[in-house]
């Protein structure tokens, strides 16, 4: 493939085409001129001169005209190829920009460490559910003795614990549920349209999956991770702050009761 800035060359196929067109032009010119001279009744000398001119002119005009025609054709073809390549490049750039935009959107709405939604997205999603007159339960989750893990094993171990908790949460909830990391070692889950029994089932599944996890430090030292869970019911008229306070109260009860357990507040919190 030739580059767009390079002059096109004459191929063997083009030379053959020029030859065929030249011969055909000469033959047609001689034939038409002979017929005209015969019809006009010109003499033998005039006829010969006219036929000579008719044969000579195509030989002079046809090759360069044909060359120019095919040169333009090649240039147009090269321009078309360049345009096609530019279109492909633009399509690739568009795909890269779209992917970059999606990555930026994901970073803006998700926690960089765990991959769960961040606090801002959590508030937006909960507000959307309430505006749609949604009902359900909010689960507030806190890692037990997290400061002790950091102090004893280091902050890398703390990060490993958070990642393990996030993985256990993601693997325990329903596709319609929504999970977020809302603080250092604090997580939240929104269970839409869940009743008391289903909420307790999901909350206990999350707690049990965290408890049975095998978490180790960078040098392979195992350590235990558990969570406490507080649950509070909400309805469309519930105020977000009141829902979170109610779930926090249940969470503190779980902490005060010995940690690694689930407590639930079933009364629906409503806005004043």
Q: Which residues are catalytic?
A: 185
**What is the per-residue DSSP string for the chain?**
---TTSPP---HHHHHHHHHHHHHHHHHHHHHHHHHHHHHT--HHHHHHHHHHHHHHHHHHHHHHHHHHHHHHHHHHHHHHHHHHHHHHHHHHHHHHHHHHHHHHHHHHB-TTT-SB-HHHHHHHHHHHHHTT--EEEEEEEETTHHHHHHHH-HHHHHHHHHHHHHHHHTTS-TT-EEEE-SSSEEEEEEET--HHHHHHHHHHHHHHHHT--EE-TTS-EE---EEEEEEEE-TT--HHHHHHHHHHHHHHHHHTTSS-EEEEEEEE---
């Amino acid at each position: 493939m030739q580059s767009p800035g390079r002059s096109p060359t004459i191929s063997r196929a083009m030379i053959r085409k020029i030859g065929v067109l030249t011969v055909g032009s000469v033959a047609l010119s001689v034939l038409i001129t002979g017929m005209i001279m015969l019809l006009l009744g010109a003499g033998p000398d005039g006829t010969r001169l006219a036929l000579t001119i008719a044969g000579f002119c195509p030989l002079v005009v046809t090759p360069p005209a044909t060359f120019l025609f095919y040169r333009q054709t090649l240039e147009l073809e090269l321009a078309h190829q360049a345009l096609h390549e530019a279109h492909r490049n633009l399509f690739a750039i568009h795909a890269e920009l779209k992917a970059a935009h999606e990555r930026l959107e994901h970073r803006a709405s998700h926690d960089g460490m765990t991959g769960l939604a961040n606090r801002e997205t959590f508030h937006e999603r909960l507000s959307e559910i309430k505006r749609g007159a949604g009902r359900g339960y909010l689960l507030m989750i806190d890692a037990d003795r997290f400061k002790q893990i950091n102090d004893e094993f280091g902050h890398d171990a703390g990060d490993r614990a958070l990642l393990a908790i996030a993985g256990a949460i993601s693997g325990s909830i329903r596709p319609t549920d929504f999970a977020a990391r809302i603080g250092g070692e604090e997580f939240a889950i929104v269970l839409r349209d869940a009743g008391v029994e289903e909420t307790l089932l999901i909350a206990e599944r999350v707690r049990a999956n965290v408890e049975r996890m095998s978490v180790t430090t960078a040098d392979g030292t195992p350590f235990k991770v558990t969570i406490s869970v507080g649950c509070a019911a909400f309805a469309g008229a519930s105020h977000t702050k009141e829902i979170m306070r109610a779930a926090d109260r249940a969470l503190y009860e779980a902490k005060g009761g010995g940690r690694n357990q689930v407590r639930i507040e079933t009364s629906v919190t409503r806005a004043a």
